[in-house]
Amino acid sequence: MFLMKIINNLYNGTSVKYTLLEAIAYLIIIVFALTIHEYGHAFVAFRCGDSTAKNAGRLSLNPLAHIDITGMLLFLIAGFGYAKPVPINPSNFKNYRKGITAVSLAGVICNIFLGLLSLLLLFLYFTFLTRFTLFSNSFGLFLYDLIYYGVYINFILALFNLLPIYPLDGFRVLDVYLPYGNKFSQFMYRYGNRVLLGLIIFSIVAERLSSYSMIFSYLNIFNWFYALINQLIALIPIM
C-alpha cells in the first residue's frame, strides 16, 4: 500500500525530496479527513440531544482528540486504518432511529463533501494554477498531492464506511431499520470485526496477486472504489 509505494518510488529513482513531500501530503490529508469524519459524528450526536461525545472532548477539531496511533500506522502499512470511535449514548437521542441514522451518516457525508471540494480544487488546479510558474516547482507538486489525496482518501473513507459490516457506519444505519434480533445483525455483532479484517486482508492479498492474473484485481474491493472515483474525476474537464 502507501509504504510500499514510497519504497518503490525510491527504488525507481524518485527524489527523496519529492517522496518526502508526498508522504507529508498523504499524512496531512489522512489526519484532516479522519478528524472531520469523527467531528461530524460528535457534532450531529450533540445536535440530536446526546452530549456524551462533547463531554469526552470529542466535539473538537483538534486532531489529537480523534487520531489513533495504531490506526495511523495501518494507513501507512496496509493503506487503510481508523480513528478513535466517537462515544455516543443513543438513549439520549430525541428520536432513536433518526438519531442513529443521522450520526452514522454524518462522517460519511463530511468525507463526501471534502471529496467533492477536492474535485473542485483539482479542476481549478489544472485549469488555472498550472499556468503559473510558481506551481511548476516542488510547491506545485506538493499542492497537487494534497488535492489528489484529498479526492481519493475522502471518497474511499466514505465508500468503505458505507459497507454494511459491523462496526462500520453502513451497518449501523441498516441495523436500526432491521427487525430486532434478526440473524444478520446478530451475526455481524458477533463476527463483524473478523469479516472486516478478512475483507481488508483478502483485498491486500488480491492486490499482490493481480500481477499474475487480472481476476485478482477484480477481487480487491479497493479497486472498485478507485474505479468509481476515477469515473468521478473523468466528469470534470481537468485537461
* pLDDT tens track for 124-173: 888 877 666 555 677 788 999 999 999 999 999 999 999 999 999 999 99
Of these residues, 38, 50, 145, 207, which one is catalytic? Answer: 38
The whole-angstrom distance between residue 111's C-alpha and the CA centroid of its chain comes to 7
Q: What is the DSSP letter of 236?
A: S
Q: Is the pLDDT of residue 75 over 70?
A: yes
38 in catalytic set: yes
Helices (H), the chain: 2-11, 16-47, 52-55, 69-78, 96-127, 138-161, 169-177, 183-209, 214-218, 221-234
Distance CA 120, CA 124 (A): 6
Residues of the chain with pLDDT > 90: what percent? 59
Distance CA 210, CA 215 (A): 7
Element (H, E) at 94: none
Q: What is the DSSP letter of 136?
A: G
Query: Global pTM?
Result: 0.91
Residue type, 70: T
Distance CA 108, CA 38 (A): 10
